[in-house]
Chain A
Amino acid sequence: MADVESNEYTYLEPLPAALAENPRLAGDEGEPRLIAAATDLRADGSYGHEWLIVTTQRLQIFDQLSQDALPAIEAPLTDLTQVELERLIGTATITASIRGEHRDLVRMTHSSQQLFQRLSQYLGELAKFARKNAGIDPCPEDGPPPATPRMPIDLERRTRCPQCGLMLRSGSEICPACLDKGQALMRILAYMRPYWWQMALVWLLLVVSTLLNLVPPYLTRPLVDRVLVPAMTVTDADDSRAPYTMDGRPPQSTNQRRAVEGGPPSLTPGERLRMLGLLVVGLLLAQLGAMLIGVWRGRKMARIGTQVAHDLRQEVFEHVQRHSLRFFDQHKTGDLMSRIGHDTGSLESVLIDGVQFFVVNVLTLIGIGLVLLFMNWQLTLLVLLPVPIVLIISRLISRTLRRLFHGAWSRRGKLGATLNESLSGMRVVKAFAREGEENTRFEGHSRGLQQAMMRAEQAWSTYFPTLTFLTSSGALIVWYVGGRKIIGGDELTLGTLMAFLAYLAMFFGPLQFLTRVVDWMARSLAAAQRVFELLDTTPDVPEAAEPVAMDHIEGRVTFQNVTFGYDPYKPVLKNLTLDIKPGEMIGLVGRSGAGKSTTINLLCRFYDPNEGALLIDGVDARNIRQHDLRSQLGVVLQDTFLFSGTIAENITYGKRDATPLEIMRAAKAANAHHFIIQKPDGYDTIVGERGYQLSGGERQRIAIARAILHSPRILILDEATASVDTDTEREIQEAIARLTKGRTTIAIAHRLSTLRNADRLVVLKEGEIIEQGSHAELLAQEGEFHRLVNMQQEMAAIVGVHG
């Protein structure tokens, strides 16, 4: 796949030699090849390849790869009509009509369906183009000559890593395995630049505290050798004599004997006591110092880490808000939430804990290794014998354990889902007397969880002691080998042995950490990269380079030959032209999918038209400062969204500095005042997710009050009345009538009667305006609108709703 030659006109996979040398293969200087693609299925449905070849003139399909093979299908493009990709079950087929005869061209599995979808669209366009050029199909009179077709853009979302084939997390193109870890790390570190001197301090503190942690075991050596062990010797050898003279000095003979034996000069009991005191104070200072520096470092790092994560979260959120709605259509809310909330959080954990632990552990390992080697290198090498085993085993163990615990967790999730289902469906369960069956089902899941938990816990209980045993086996070696040396001669002192054991105990913790660090780093860096990926996307409704400021919009809206599709090849609006005068109220009418909401999306500049232009007061919307446009645009949407906060805060969402009187005036005009005042907390009632629950009609009227207070020049009403009782609907209609007065209004409502107040109705069908005029005019025309009205009246008669 890597060396496919592909641009907007061609898609050429490298041809196998046998096919390339086939003299019947079409494509040369005068007739360049546009498509050469291998399928992954043969015509009979077996796995294999067939080649789809398309030149500017011809279509060929080869099912044999020999040099003298005849193409299975060969047809001039002018013979081709109705090229389509037919989605079947487990397979797909490109079908076409060749000289009026319908047939299958090539087959493929779903895995390559996306590519062939594009190719078939392109082939269809090429065939149309060829037919128009040949004069078979008519061209629109005095229209432009047919344009050279282009390959549809690759809109495919990658689900697998192109390099290693790993399944990617949904919505992401970052492969945790192939990620350039160095690069990601550098970028994280770049965020720390503003705090570099604090970071430098942290690193310095890291080194110091690591070194200080290495001191205590080293002090135990003289403590044992020079202070404690001679004491035992003294009491053993001289217990018949008075061990100390009156001034606390030991008898001379001991001193002399030790000196003769060639050890370090022995100390008098008084000196030993003094040294004991000094050493204990030394130990205290080292431990206290390490503790204090550790605390300082930890606090410092917590500040930097959380600050950097905050900077990043803020940057990501601001960046995401700049995107058009298309972006939010493409990215799931959950995915974005996870990236902004969770992924930046895991970045924080890299910064706060990760970097610190990593450095501390590596430094500790190196430090201890060096000290051990320095104290006794033979013993050190012996001690290190179990290290590779420990490393390998703990890596295996952590994998197995993760798998087992993961299995247990997912079973717990399944149990929860089952439980939720049967509890919330209890009415059905009881009605059908299926309690027994539900019991069995629950037992199955519960048993599954029990088994999985048991396996995981048993594995944990087995592996963990094993690992502890293995790590402590190093100590056994030290005891035995070191002990022999002490007994056998003087080359190893007891103090050294004790220090050795102490260091050893400190050695294996960091070691086990390092076995997990690779995995952990990879996951954290992938999280970081997913955040960066989001930051690197560019908004597709950009602010113009030199935006036109419009402080006061009159409200003239002009759609000039606007063509737009969410997928550029499937236009939803086709060549739409509509002029709306300032203050006019337009009702958009049509079936669902006719393009009503899309028209409004363009007006809000959630999207830009593919062709044509949208003018506001004669200025192309693309050039108007987005803030100016949106601040004078009001929207009352079908699903009224209230933010958590008080009713007053929700009404002032578009105008924060409104006075209480203004708020109440707006609410009054929206017919909301009378119900708000009845609430115990009045306008201070908290609404939203955790607050007071408002009814649908109440929410809508609050939204209308919000729009009235915002006082937009251009107002958009999307299906503002839905599922409310007749009285409430009348109140809402009244409120809307007040709201729309003197404002350019574009309203969508499925209930046609609600649009009676509109100055003009525009009937859309499949992205085109088919009728427009007043309510009465359109009814008199007896066209599409008349039909829609009749249909609804019949509906209303059946349901008994009085619109």
Chain B
Amino acid sequence: MMQPPSSPSVKQELAENSLGAELRLLTVGELRFNRNAGKLCLTVAKRQSWLAVRLVRAFPYSAGQRYLSVLDNQGGEIGLIMDPDELDAESRALVEEELARRYRMPRIRLVYGVRERFGTQEWQASTDQGYVRFSTRHLFDNVRVGSDGIILTDVDGNRYIIPADAQLEAASRRLLDSSI
């Protein structure tokens, strides 16, 4: 692992590094996230701070919660968090909040039914966020298997995850099975 930035010009160095050759891995123990005027801020080793950072998942499907990239407000990468579970409780809560804000993917608990009409599938389901109706097309291209369930993308680009323990009625189960 790389050493955390320690020189006074850490910020400058990091900024330049967004196009550098080496991946910048952040030492989780030195990271503090907090909210400042509603914006997510990051402080590294108590010396450098960034206002309004963004968090993105590098491998949202294949590695789910791990490998978070922290971006500054220009979109440049400050560094990578390998495992957010190692953050202190407050930072972790903020990170999770931010991720939940960025990645909205209702978990489907129950599919009431799916109706196929003219190449469009119309779904009715209950999710952890409430009851939803949505439409998919070209199901074969819009369904993929993630690390903790099947991910559906609807015609408008919304995403839904169907975990393995979701209850599907027979027709939607068959439809999904034949589309994967």
Contact = CB atoms under 8 A, between A and B. Distances in A.
Contact of A660 (B22, B63, B141): B63
Contacts of A674: 18-19, 75-77
Interface stretch (B40-48, B53-61, B91-99): B53-61
Interface in A651-675: 660-661, 664-665, 668-669, 671, 673-674
A678 interface: yes
A664 B60 contact: no
Given A648-B62, A673-B23, A682-B59, A660 B18 contact: no
A668 B25 CA distance: 12
B125 interface: no
Interface string A708-737: 000000000000000000000001001000
Contacts of A678: 56, 75
A665 B60 contact: no
B60 A684 contact: yes
B24 to A, nearest CB: 9
B58 A677 contact: yes
Nearest to B70: A677
B112 interface: no
Given A660-B67, A677-B77, A682 B23 contact: no
A109 to B, nearest CB: 53
B49 to A, nearest CB: 21
Contacts of A661: 23, 67, 82
A690 interface: yes
Contacts of B69: 677, 682
Contacts of B66: 660
A627 interface: no
Contacts of A562: none
Contact of B23 (A668, A734, A738): A668
Contacts of B166: none
B87 interface: no
Contacts of A738: 21
A646 B62 CA distance: 10
B78 to A, nearest CB: 11
A675 to B, nearest CB: 10
A646 B63 CA distance: 13
What bracket does the count of chain B residues touching chain A fall in? 20 to 34
Nearest to B140: A690
A684 B62 contact: yes
A683 interface: yes
Contacts of B77: 673-674, 677
A206 interface: no
B144 interface: yes
A661 B81 CA distance: 11
B14 interface: no
B21 A684 contact: no
Contact of B21 (A669, A680, A690): A669
Contacts of A684: 59-62
Contacts of A734: 19
Contacts of B20: 668
B28 interface: no
A519 B51 CA distance: 78
B15 interface: no
B180 to A, nearest CB: 14
A681 B61 contact: yes
Contacts of A764: none
B123 to A, nearest CB: 21
Contacts of A77: none
Contacts of A683: 58-59, 62
A686 interface: yes
Nearest to B76: A674
A383 B60 CA distance: 75
Given A660-B67, A677-B71, A682 B22 contact: no
Contacts of B18: 674
Nearest to B103: A680
B99 to A, nearest CB: 12
Interface string B96-122: 000000000000000000000000000
A734 B16 CA distance: 14
B168 interface: no
A359 B50 CA distance: 80
Interface string B1-26: 00000000000000000111111000
A664 B67 contact: yes
B162 interface: no
Given A674-B77, A686-B144, A690-B141, A660 B58 contact: yes
Contact of B19 (A648, A676, A681, A731): A731
B80 interface: yes
Contacts of B80: 664
B55 to A, nearest CB: 11
A750 B49 CA distance: 46
Nearest to A679: B56
B67 A668 contact: no
A589 to B, nearest CB: 28
B75 A668 contact: no
A704 to B, nearest CB: 12
Contacts of B22: 665, 668-669
A504 B23 CA distance: 82
B144 A677 contact: no
Nearest to A681: B60
B87 to A, nearest CB: 18
A724 to B, nearest CB: 16
B62 A671 contact: no
A690 B143 CA distance: 13
A686 B59 CA distance: 12
B59 A677 contact: no
Interface string A761-796: 000000000000000000000000000000000000
A665 B82 CA distance: 13
Contacts of A668: 20-23
A669 B57 CA distance: 19
Nearest to B71: A677
Interface in A231-280: none
Given A681-B60, A682-B60, A684-B60, A664 B23 contact: yes
A664 B21 contact: no
Interface string A515-552: 00000000000000000000000000000000000000
B23 A660 contact: no
A681 B80 CA distance: 16
A64 to B, nearest CB: 74
Contacts of B59: 648, 660, 682-684
A220 B71 CA distance: 86
A665 B58 CA distance: 12
A684 B146 CA distance: 10
Contacts of B141: 690
B19 A665 contact: no
Contacts of A660: 58-59, 62-63, 66-67
Contacts of A665: 22-23
Nearest to A682: B58
A787 to B, nearest CB: 36
Contacts of A690: 141
B22 to A, nearest CB: 7
A677 B71 CA distance: 9
Nearest to B69: A677
A677 B56 contact: yes
Interface of A: 646, 648, 660-661, 664-665, 668-669, 671, 673-674, 676-678, 680-684, 686, 690, 731, 734, 738
24 contacts: A646-B61, A648-B59, A648-B62, A660-B59, A660-B63, A660-B67, A661-B23, A661-B82, A664-B23, A664-B58, A664-B80, A668-B20, A668-B21, A668-B22, A673-B77, A674-B75, A674-B76, A677-B69, A678-B56, A681-B61, A682-B56, A682-B69, A690-B141, A731-B19
What are the 8 closest A-B residue pairs judged by CB atoms, nearest first?
Answer: A684-B61, A668-B23, A682-B58, A677-B69, A665-B23, A669-B21, A683-B59, A738-B21
Given A664-B58, A683-B58, 9 more contacts: A660-B66, A668-B21, A668-B23, A677-B58, A681-B60, A682-B59, A684-B60, A684-B61, A684-B62
